[in-house]
Structure 1
Amino acid sequence: MSGGYDDRDGKIWMDGQLVEWRDANVHILTHGLHYASSVFEGERCYGGKIFKGRQHSERLVRSAGLIDFEIPYSLDEIDAAKDAVLKANGLTDAYVRAIAWRGAGPDMGVASARNPVRLAVAAWEWGNYYGDAKTRGAKLDLSKWKRPSPETIPAEAKAAGLYMICTMSKHAAEAKGCSDAMMLDYRGYVAEATGANIFFVKDGEVHTPLADCFLNGLTRQTVLQMLRERDIPVHERHIMPEELEGFQQCWLTGTAAEVTPVGSIGDYTFEVGAMARDISDAYEKLVRS
């Protein structure tokens, strides 16, 4: 594919049917556009099979419930829509985006209970999220924005509005020549990158932030299981930013990022070490098994 994401050949599944890519449009007064009443999933298909596709569908439905709407399709129907999109576009290795939102309807204020809930699924070929960082290590900035308290947002939802500060953080990072940014949480603890969870290694043991105010990613959960199967000690805990000086390795996890080693965060540097490479390689084999 080439060109903008609105100007491509192919099919997108939208509200129960496949439509031409360029015709998959919404009205300007769509509620989700104005008030961020939208949830989504990012999934990867390897060799014709979406990795943890059912879990992604379950999280999509759960996220919608957390921001107070119900998707009018069953899990089986959502899974079938994803399969239909891949088949219609002739894709076996692809990124899949399912998105549900409150559409245009009789309500156009903050409240939108009477507006229809819509669902769409698109898929496209997408390479490494961080380019060649899998071999040399990603370069991260330190974001000025913090992940907010779960008392102020539905932190367990993969909701569009929660990514606003992530977009601003990544733009600021890219302006400095970085691939991404690491964010702290509202208490000052290390949280995550803008669209990926983060892991550190010290003396053969793994440390990762406790997912108590940000999304506990499916890739994060997969990697935690892989580490435990290897009898590698794992500490899920609150991590202070000054602790980064003592960590030897670091990597990011996410559906788009997969497992990507980190070479630096601000002034802190890390080696692309044996454990980071091993987990990255093992994850690549797992998703294609």
Structure 2
Amino acid sequence: MAGAYDDRDGKIWMDGALVEWRDAKVHILTHALHYASSVFEGERCYNGKIFKSRQHSERLLASGKMIDFDIPYTIDEIEAAKQAALDANGLTDAYVRAVAWRGAGEDMGVASSRNPVHMAVAVWEWGNYYGDAKTKGAKLDIAKWKRPSPECAPSQAKAAGLYMIATMSKHAAEAKGCSDAMMYDYRGYIAEATGANIFFVKNGEVHTPTPDAFLNGITRQTVIGMLRDKGITVIERHIMPEELDGFEQCWLTGTAAEVTPVGQIGDHKFEVGTLVKDLAAEYEKLVRV
């Protein structure tokens, strides 16, 4: 499958039925388009099985509640929808995008409680998110935008509106020849990349930012468990920018990123070392069990 995302062969599951890919459309006055009333999940299917599938479905429902709407499907129904989309497109290795949003209805202003909530699932083939960075190490810019305070936005929701500053940050990074950008939070602590969590290594221990102003990723949680099972100390804490020079290795985690080593952030360089290489290989084995 290739080409523009609105012009492909295949099927998309939408509001309980499989529709032709090109016919999966919404009205121009869809509330989510104007006011970002949308949540989503990014998942990967390996050898016919979506990794941590139910956990993703649970988070989708929770994200909807955090931005004040109820998705009209149960976890079992969401699981069935994802499988139906995979089957309809004949895919066993794929990226899976489940999305729910407030549609067009009686309200067309900030308030939208009378508008219906819709859901869709699309699946497609997708390779390495960062290309050859999986072996060479990604190069990251440092974003000018910061992750907002939890008092300003629901940081634990996977909500579309929270990605506006991520898009701008990644565009700026790509213009400089970088793969992505690292973001600080509202206090100036290191937070994450635009769509992936971040880890550092120092003296055999792993340090990662406390997820109190950004999404505590499912892949992040999985990798922390893997490291601790190996007897490696993982320290979750607030990390200051001036600490970057003292770290030896760095990597990103996420459904799209999987485990991707980082070779450079701004002027700070890191080794693509044994720990991150082994971790990436072990993660690859885990998701394909």
Say whether residues 1:83 and 2:50 are aligned partners. Answer: no
| Counterpart amino acid of residue 44 in structure 1 | R
- Shift of the alpha carbon at 1:254? 0.1
Where does residue 106 of structure 2 map in the other structure?
106
| Distance in 2 separating the partners of 1:207 and 1:72 | 39
Where does residue 26 of structure 1 map in the other structure?
26
Where does residue 68 of structure 2 map in the other structure?
68
Q: 1:27-60: per-residue Cα shift (whole Å, max 9, x none)?
A: 0000000000000000000000000000000000
| Distance in 1 separating the partners of 2:224 and 2:116 | 38
Return 5+ residue gaps in structure 2 as ranges: none
- Shift of the alpha carbon at 1:148? 0.4
| Counterpart amino acid of residue 251 in structure 2 | W
| Distance in 1 separating the partners of 2:3 and 2:229 | 43
Where does residue 202 of structure 1 map in the other structure?
202
Instruction: Please show how residues 97-136 of structure 1 align to structure 2 within 5 Å.
Output: 97-136=97-136
| Distance in 1 separating the partners of 2:72 and 2:232 | 43
| Counterpart amino acid of residue 92 in structure 1 | T
Normalization by structure 2: what TM-score?
A: 1.00
Percent identity of equivalent pairs: 79
| Distance in 1 separating the partners of 2:265 and 2:176 | 12
**Moved runs in structure 1, 4+ residues, more than 2 A?**
none
Return 5+ residue gaps in structure 1 as ranges: none
| Distance in 2 separating the partners of 1:258 and 1:134 | 9
SS at 1:236's partner residue?
A: strand
| Counterpart amino acid of residue 88 in structure 1 | A
| Counterpart amino acid of residue 287 in structure 2 | V
| Distance in 2 separating the partners of 1:155 and 1:212 | 8
| Distance in 2 separating the partners of 1:229 and 1:89 | 37
- Shift of the alpha carbon at 1:2? 1.4
| Counterpart amino acid of residue 183 in structure 1 | M
Where does residue 233 of structure 2 map in the other structure?
233
Say whether residues 1:250 and 2:250 are aligned partners. Answer: yes
Q: 1:84-118: per-residue Cα shift (whole Å, max 9, x none)?
A: 00000000000000000000000000000000000
| Distance in 1 separating the partners of 2:72 and 2:111 | 19
Where does residue 275 of structure 1 map in the other structure?
275
| Distance in 2 separating the partners of 1:33 and 1:123 | 21
Normalization by structure 1: what TM-score?
A: 1.00
| Distance in 1 separating the partners of 2:229 and 2:70 | 37
| Counterpart amino acid of residue 72 in structure 2 | P
Say whether residues 1:262 and 2:262 are aligned partners. Answer: yes
| Distance in 2 separating the partners of 1:99 and 1:182 | 25
- Shift of the alpha carbon at 1:143? 0.2
Q: Give the paired residue count.
A: 289
SS at 1:260's partner residue?
A: strand
| Counterpart amino acid of residue 2 in structure 1 | A
Where does residue 14 of structure 1 map in the other structure?
14
| Distance in 1 separating the partners of 2:131 and 2:9 | 24
| Distance in 2 separating the partners of 1:2 and 1:97 | 16
Q: 1:191-248: per-residue Cα shift (whole Å, max 9, x none)?
A: 0000000000011100000000100000000000000000101110000011000000
SS at 1:86's partner residue?
A: helix
Q: 1:114-142: per-residue Cα shift (whole Å, max 9, x none)?
A: 00000000000000000000100000000
| Counterpart amino acid of residue 196 in structure 1 | A
- Shift of the alpha carbon at 1:161? 0.1
| Distance in 2 separating the partners of 1:233 and 1:77 | 39
